[in-house]
Amino acid sequence: MDTAKLIQELRETFKGEIVFDEKTLALYSHDTSLFEIKPQIVVFPSNIADIKALVFFVKKNKNKYPKLSITARSGGTDMTGGAINDSIILDFSKHLNQMGEINPEGTIVEPGVFYRDFEKQTLKKGLYLPSYPASKNICCLGGMIANNAGGEKTLAHGKTIDYVLELKVVLSDGREYVFKKISKKELDQKIKQDDFEGEIYKKVYKLVTENLETIKNAKPKVSKNSTGYNLWDVWDGEFFDLTKLFVGSQGTLGMVTSAKIKLIEKKKHSGLLVIYLNDIKILPDLIGDVLSQHPESFEAFDAYTLKLAIRFMPQFIQILGLKGTISMGMQFLPTLLEFIFKGLPKFTLLVEFDSDKQEEINTRVENLRAKIASYPIKTVLAEKDKEAENYWTIRRESFNLLRKNVKNKHTAPFIDDLIVRPEFLVDFFPKLTAILEKYKLEYTIAGHMGDGNFHIIPLMDFSKASEVDKIPVIEDEVNQLVISFGGSISAEHNEGLVRGHYTKKMYGEKVFGFFKQVKEIFDPNNIFNPHKKTDASQVYSLSHIREGF
C-alpha cells in the first residue's frame, strides 16, 4: 500500500492530524503486550466528523487497499496487543477527551478521557466508577469500555459493563448511532427500519432469540469474563441492549465516540486487613470465610512480587515520593525482619472493607479476624489510609515494576488473566504451578483472590529462540487447564492478539460461530481492529512478538 498516496487521498476528507514519522510509528507499534506491529499512519481526529470521514474513507477504499483498517487507541495500556495494528491507529486521547457534568445517573465521557482525570472530578462529588483496573493512573475510559475492565472493586461492585448506560458509536457505514437499553416495543420499531441500523437490530435479535438457550448456557460460570462477545446479556425477555455487545468487543464492532457512565457513592472510610498465607491447601475455606464478611476487595500477590517490591524499594520514590517511600520502608520494617528469619509468605492477601462509619469497619474487621483466627496465618491491620495505600501500590504497580526494572528478562503477558471459581483453587493451583515449573519459568502472580482471577506474568529472555518457543506450548497447556475447570482464559484483559485463537476452544464451534455472525453483522468488511476476537490467528500473533524486547 502506497502510504504517500493513502495520506494524500485521506487528507481530502479527514481534517485532523495525520502522523507518519518513524518516531511516532515506533511508539504506536507497541502497547504493554509482548507484540510489535508497525502501523502505516497514526491519526488524531479533532472531532466526530473526522471519525465518520475516516471510517467512510476506509469502507470506500477497502477493495482498492484490502489491508486498510482502523484500530482505536487511547491510553495504550492494553496487555494483549489489542491497541496495535499494521494499518491506521486512531488515537482518541489527544482531542476526544472531554467529560460532561458529573452526575450519578449518567455522566457523558469521551473515550480519550484518562481515568485519573475522571476520578478527580467524580470524587469532588463523592462519586466514582468502581470498575477501574490496576492501571487506573494511566488508562482511559475508552480502553476500559473496550476491554470490559474490572479490578479490585469488581468483587463487590461489578465490571464496566454494569455502568455503561448508553454509547454513541460510528459503525462501518460511517454514521454515528446511539445504543442503549430499549423496550420490546422500541425494538420492534428499530427492526422495521429499512436501513443499516434496522438490519443490525433485526439480525442480532434473530440470532439471540433463535439460539437463546445455547447462548445462555455458554456464559462462563465465573464472576468475570472478557472472552468473546457478551451475547447472553443482550436480551432478557423484556429489554434489548446492544451496549452489552460493544463493551468488551475491543473495538472490533465500531468506534465508540462517547459513553454515558453510571457512578456510585464513594464511602468515607475504609479498612484493610492484610493476611500472610503459606499453606495453599487452606485457600478454599479461607476464601469462603473472607467472602462471608462481604468485603469490597479481596486481592493477592505472591512471594516473588513482594520480593521485587523489597528489591526495588528505591523505585517507589517516583511513585510515592521520598517521604512516602521512607514511610513505606518504616511500615514494613518489622515485617521484613520477620521475613528474613521465616521466609516470605507464599501469598499476601488484601481484604478491604468500606463504610461511611469507621465503627462499622472496625466491627467487620474484628469479625473477620475472629472467624479466621484458627488458620495458620498471620494478619496485620493497616490502621491508616497511607499504610493501606502502600500495600495497594505494591499490588497495582507490580506489572510496571517488572516491565521497567528487571534487566535481561522481559515481561511476557500471555497467561495473564485466567479465572476459575475460587472453590477450585486448591486443585487448580498445584496443576498450574506444575506447568510453570516444568518449563522453568520465572514469574509473578497477582490478582483478585475473591474472584479466582489471577495475572501470571512470566519473565523471559526473548533473545533466546528457545524461550520464545515455550510461549505457545505453555499457553496451550495453561488454557486447556483453565477450560477443564470451567473457567475463562480472560476475565478482564480481553483476548487481543495473545489468546484470540483460543476463543473457539473455550466456547466450541457453534457458539464461536455466533460470535463470527456478530462480527459480520456489524463489520462485514473487517474494517475495525483485525486479528482480534473471531479474526485471530496464532501464526500471525507469534510472528509479531517483539524482537530485542
What are the φ/ψ torsions at residue 182 (nearest 5 degrees)?
Answer: -130, 155
**Is 29:37 a contact under the CB 8 Å cutoff?**
yes
At 267, is the secondary structure helix, strand, or coil? coil
Identify the pLDDT of residue 325: 46
Q: Residue ranges of the domains in the chain?
A: 3-93, 107-265, 269-484
DSSP state of 272: E
Which fold, 3-93? 3.30.43
Written as tens digits, the pLDDT of the chain (549 aa) is 688 999 999 999 999 999 999 999 999 999 999 999 999 999 999 999 999 999 999 999 999 999 999 999 999 999 999 999 999 999 999 999 999 999 999 999 999 999 999 999 999 999 999 999 989 999 999 999 999 999 999 999 999 999 999 999 999 999 999 999 999 999 999 999 999 999 999 999 999 999 999 999 999 999 999 999 999 999 999 999 999 999 999 999 999 999 999 999 999 988 999 999 998 889 889 999 999 999 999 999 888 877 776 666 565 555 545 444 445 444 454 455 455 556 788 888 999 999 999 999 999 999 999 999 999 998 988 865 666 666 777 666 666 666 665 666 788 999 999 999 999 998 998 999 999 999 998 888 888 999 999 999 998 888 888 989 999 999 999 999 999 999 999 999 999 999 999 999 999 999 999 999 999 999 999 999 999 999 999 999 999 998 765
Q: Between the CA of residue 192 and those of 175, 186, 239, 256, 529, what are the distances in Å?
A: 19, 10, 17, 25, 30
For the domain spanning 107-265, the CATH number is 3.30.465.10
What the block records as the C-alpha cell of 365 is 474487621
**Is 87:39 a contact under the CB 8 Å cutoff?**
yes
Which fold, 269-484? Vanillyl-alcohol Oxidase; Chain A, domain 3 (3.40.462)
**pTM of the entire structure?**
0.93
Identify the pLDDT of residue 303: 85
Torsion angle defined by CA atoms of residues 480, 287, 433 and 396, in that order, rounded to the nearest 10 degrees: 100
Phi-psi region of 436 (alpha: psi -120 to 50; beta: other; left: phi over 0): alpha
Identify the pLDDT of residue 129: 98
Identify the pLDDT of residue 301: 87
Element of type H or E holding 5: helix 3-10
What single-letter amino acid sits at 145? I
Identify the pLDDT of residue 268: 92
Angle between helices 465-484 and 425-438 (to 10 degrees): 160
Question: Three-state SS string across 374-426, please?
Answer: CCCCEEEEECCHHHHHHHHHHHHHHHHHHHHHCCCCEECCCEEEEECCHHHHH
